[in-house]
Amino acid sequence: MTCYCYIVECADGTYYTGWTVNPEKRVTLHNKGHGARYTRTRCPVTLVYVEELPDRKSAMKREMAIKRMKRGRKLKLIEGSGIVKG
């Protein structure tokens, strides 16, 4: 099953990284307050990065790798993604 690793930008300018099988639905859940505890108080969130991965294990490994990155490295990843904020 195809999975996705994603980054959302929160209303306070911070980033949250997660994985899912449906990025658009997951962002909607975050914005309804049903996502991660971290994003509940930082809504609305905007999808800024999505990476397709072949399976859940790969997506979870990638999520952890991104979470370990410093903010500057995450920004470079986001800038190279081609997703237009707005």
In which region does residue 32 sit, left (phi positive, over 0), alpha (psi from -120 to 50) or beta (all else)? Answer: alpha
Instruction: Tell me the C-alpha distance between 28 and 35, whole Å.
Output: 9
Per-10-residue mean pLDDT, the chain, length 86 = 96 97 97 94 96 97 97 94 67
The residue ranges of every structural domain in the chain are 3-79
Q: Is the pTM of this model over 0.85?
A: yes
Which CATH class for the 3-79 domain?
A: alpha beta
